[in-house]
Amino acid sequence: MPLKHLVLIVLVCLAWSFNFTAGAAGMQHFSPLQFMILRFTIVLVVVFPLLRIPPRDQWIRVASVCLLIGSLHFTTLFWALARSDDVSSVAIIHHTYIPMAVVLAMIILSERVGWRSLLATGVAFLGVLVIGFDPMVLAQLDVLALVLISALFQALGSIYMRGIRGVSVMNFQAWTAIISLPILILASLAFEQDQLMAFRTAGLIHWSSVLYSALIASLLGHGLFYYLIQKHPVTAVMPYMLLTPLFAVIFGVTVWGDTPGWRLMLGGIMILFGMLVITLRARKKAHSVVPL
């Protein structure tokens, strides 16, 4: 992977990692569906001039990815943040989408992964089990379930995203907003109350969290991720995403005031170690290929 793409990956991880803290701040006032409606409305306003009709053979794939990553993944993730007492555990558990995506890439895309990489993926899953027994996590099992569901949606979306052709980064962002907004609005009207009151009484920090989520996490972070996943195999990009929970825990402790327990930290280290092994294996294979 070229150095410039590694730099882009770090930017994605930084953008996504602080989004957990920003999202938690927004969840103190907005409901999850309201937050996502505001986020996608801002995204749509910014990228609407770049909207183009996707190729006919890409419609089903584009719509599926937009629903998975737009409506389903984000709503369950922010629902978890709204119910959670901390940011760090949500950030670490959520990144089980990375080993999920590695396994799904093998099944759906027939990408080959060696036994050492599979073993490292298993270590990452064991890390999740260790985290699951942290008292902070056991006290909020509903949050654990929501985060794992959110991770599965993102893993599936990432897999199918790789097959999209003829759709630019910003055009994809526009369609994600267009497809997600009607579903989110109907769900908010059906299950939430006092939406207008929440909009009128929101403070600067709440609006700032929405703007960060829309402009930085979505347009910048997901835009760059979409670009990278089109350039490289899923199994090559995903391991680097484990920088995100590392940064997220740092932000959670320094900004949000989290105090992670030893199980949470041990499980996080196991996840990072597993993904590091996958990364090193992938790089070793790349360097061992001799061009003809």
Q: Give the DSSP letter string of 225-272.
A: HHHHHHHS-HHHHGGGGGHHHHHHHHHIIIII-----HHHHHHHHHHH
Residue 208 pLDDT: 93
> What global pTM score does this model have?
0.74
Low-confidence residues in the chain, pLDDT < 50: 289-292
Dist. CA 111–CA 107, nearest whole Å: 8
- pLDDT confidence of residue 243: 78
- What CA–CA distance (Å, rounded) separates 82 from 43? 22
pLDDT at 286 (0 to 100): 55
276, burial (CB in 10 Å: exposed 0-12, middle 13-18, buried 19+)? middle
pLDDT attached to residue 45 = 93
With b for 16 or more beta-carbon neighbours within 10 A and e for fewer, the 12-45 pattern comes to bbbbbbbbbbbbbbbbebbbbbbbbbbbbbbbbe
CB-side neighbour CA atoms (13 Å) of 5: 14
Contact between 232 and 286 under an 8 Å Cβ cutoff? The reply is no
Tokens of 155: 């893993």
* CB-based contact 88:264 (threshold 8 Å): yes
pLDDT at position 237: 80
- Count CA atoms within 13 Å of residue 178 on its CB side: 16
